[in-house]
């Protein structure tokens, strides 16, 4: 069961998670690519871009829940809260609030992909598409 944030949380804390700036932990594209090669180290991948963006190219194994609906869908997220989670977006802006939100819901080890899909693609790393 996913722990929900306290209802006594301050107003600023309730809205702060959404701000797309500030520091959250990051993993470099090259480091993530190495981890994905080893199933024992492979993190859970959450892509928070729109479905249309995700269809055009995403990391293999990533699931897609757009940041605009993540809060309402977080309880359906079938991730292990004790295992690492990497959040992904296009340029590492939408993934910042995703990291904060997952942490608020009790996920222990959450980071974002540094530079997002732009950096991933700049490194020529593998992705898959869902386009018809």
Tens-place pLDDT, residues 44-103? 999 999 999 999 999 999 999 999 999 999 989 999 999 999 999 999 889 999 999 999
pLDDT of 20 higher than 80 = no
- Check residue 2 and give its pLDDT: 46
- Check residue 32 and give its pLDDT: 96
Other CB atoms within 10 A of residue 88 CB: 24
Helices (H), the chain: 11-16, 29-36, 51-56, 67-73, 95-104, 116-122
Provide the annotated active-site residues.
Answer: 89
> Which of 74-77's residues contact partners 24+ apart within 8 Å by CB, and which partners?
74/2, 74/101, 74/102, 74/105, 75/2, 75/4, 77/2, 77/46
Split at pLDDT 50, 70, 90, the class of 42 is: confident
Q: Over the chain, what is the mean pLDDT?
A: 87
> All domains of the chain, ordered by start, with CATH?
24-122 (3.40.250.10)
Record the pTM: 0.84
Residue 62 tokens read as 């990533």
The phi and psi torsions of 64 (rounded to 5 degrees) equal: -115, 115
pLDDT of 6 higher than 60 = no
Percent of the chain with pLDDT over 90: 71
């Amino acid at each position: 069961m996913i722990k929900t944030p306290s209802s006594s949380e301050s107003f600023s804390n309730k809205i702060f998670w959404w701000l797309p700036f500030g520091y959250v932990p990051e993993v470099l594209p090259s480091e993530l690519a190495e981890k994905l090669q080893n199933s024992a180290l492979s993190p859970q991948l959450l892509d928070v871009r729109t479905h249309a963006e995700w269809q055009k190219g995403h990391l293999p194994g990533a699931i897609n829940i757009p940041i605009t609906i993540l809060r309402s869908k977080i309880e359906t997220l079938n991730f292990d809260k004790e295992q690492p989670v990497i959040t992904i977006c296009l340029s590492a802006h939408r993934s910042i609030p995703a990291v904060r939100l997952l942490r608020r819901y009790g996920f222990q080890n959450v980071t974002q992909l540094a530079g997002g899909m732009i950096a991933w693609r700049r490194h020529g790393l593998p992705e898959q598409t869902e386009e018809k």
